[in-house]
Amino acid sequence: MGLFESALKQYYKAAKLMDLDPNLREVLAHPKRELTVHFPVKMDDGSVHVFTGYRVQHNVARGPAKGGIRYHPAVTLDEVKALAFWMTWKCAVVGIPFGGGKGGVQVDPSRLSMNELERLSRRYFSEIQIMVGPDEDIPAPDVNTNPKVMAWFMDTYSMDVGHTVLSVVTGKPLEIGGSEGRLEATGRGVRVVAEEAANYLGMDLRGASVAIQGFGNVGSHAAKLLSQELGCRIVAVSDISGGICNERGFDIDELIRYRDENGGVIKGYPDGESISNEDLLTLDVDILIPAALENVITAENAEKVRARLIVEGANGPITPEADEILQNKGIFVVPDFLANAGGVTVSYFEWVQGLQWYFWEIEDVRKALHKVMKKAFATVLKTCRYYDTDMRTAAYIVAIERVAVATKLRGIYP
């Protein structure tokens, strides 16, 4: 099953349960726009390589499209469609006035020089500029992209239109219109909903054991905030190089320093036993946070998962078949487009700041983020109990209802 087909399966389950009008169900199932671009980039050795990139807008009924751009050799149109689809519901479930978008380029950025990466980024953004803009579609960082890439995107767009446009992308460096708290935002959102879910389950977080698959921006910030603000024990983490575990819990600041000084990987960290990414998912822990890539918990390994609570930091880490198994096991799952919505929420704050040319203090950003995430969790939980369903289906119902209402109010043009 492709990723978009998998996403549609979850969507149709919710649409059926909420008895969504068949016409609206059909409209909301399809992306509004799909753009594929093939563009040349001059390499440092003088050769020219043609890369393939995508930008998809799923729905813009509630506002401009919003979603990250990823650089990865495995990027496909199917993946980007699914991620844009989820972005629609992610924005809607937390109540921010954006629709869903996503983009990507088929490239391994680790094989490019900095100059090649800049040329690729600028050329790709100029190619998709026919459908992006501060009122149309606002990209952001994703896998293998960062504030530096966003700065190139913003500058490219600004040079083309003849003046600086801060609000065309989010996730920028602070010095050129970025927002305080943006780098930690997705991890902080995971921390907030983990606390809310634990309170609902009657779980004491002080000393609770946590395993995190993926120790990039989301996983490392979630680990730091869960351990330092809530007193959790981060007993296992992993990245592309493999994983490590320590029953006593890791010093996350020390582990982050080691990662940053060791080429961005945790392999070889001395204060932990080696463990595979696959084994981490089945550890006997209180909380499991899959914060790497999609489809890591499947029908093949779901039965072995022993965590009491799963908070999805990544997009689509659990397949629909695995979802059913986890539900039957009584594992409480906070779905991705609720759990990791902290990033897009602070991106919304950054967009607002950029439009106004007025910037907030970090405590204002954090306070506003906590308020949005807590309210969204409470709304989804209430819906979950009302329909006697799981949290993922409930989150879809909340989000679909909001997008459906906007679509119905606006009508079908012409």
Q: Which active-site residues does the annotation give?
A: 102
- Tally of helices (H runs) and strands (E runs) in the chain: 14, 12
CA dist 372 and 315 (Å) reads 20
Q: In angstroms, how far is the first alpha carbon of the chain from the final one?
A: 36
> Residue 53 in contact with residue 41, Cβ under 8 Å?
no
**Cα–chain-centroid distance for residue 41?**
28
Helices (H), 178-309: 185-201, 217-230, 252-261, 277-280
In Å, what is the CA distance from 162 to each residue of 129, 155, 158, 165? 14, 10, 6, 9
Name the residue type at position 389. T
> Residue 185 in contact with residue 346, Cβ under 8 Å?
yes
**Cα–chain-centroid distance for residue 214?**
13
